Structure 1
C-alpha cells in the first residue's frame, strides 16, 4: 500500500482574472473546465494571442 496521495490532475484551462484565458499563467488565475472556457470565449472573453485558445477549442466567428 502506498502512503503517497495521488496528485489532482492539472486543469485543462486557466482564466486570468481581468486578463482572459492563457496557459502562461500569472498570480491572478482560476482553473476552468473545457466547457466553461468555451462558454467564456463565446461570451467575448479576450484570449491569449500566444496560445490562441479560441483556435484550440474550435471557436469560430
Structure 2
C-alpha cells in the first residue's frame, strides 16, 4: 500500500511521480487532457472534448 505524499515537494522527490507529472503536464500544454491521457489529436473531432466528458449531444462526423 502506498501513502500519499505530504506535499508537492515530497511528491516531486519520487522519480516515478515526477515523470508521470511531467507527462501529464506535456499533454495538457499541447492541447490534450492529462487526466484521462487523451492526446490533442485524439480529442473528439465534432466538439473538441476529451474522454473525461460525456458528449452524446455532439454531432460526430461519419467516415
Work out whether the TM-score is over 0.5.
Answer: no
Structure 2 length-normalised TM? 0.23
Larger Rg: 2
- TM-score norm. by structure 1 comes to 0.23
Q: Larger % of helix: which?
A: 2
Higher relative contact order (CA 8 A, sep 6+): 1
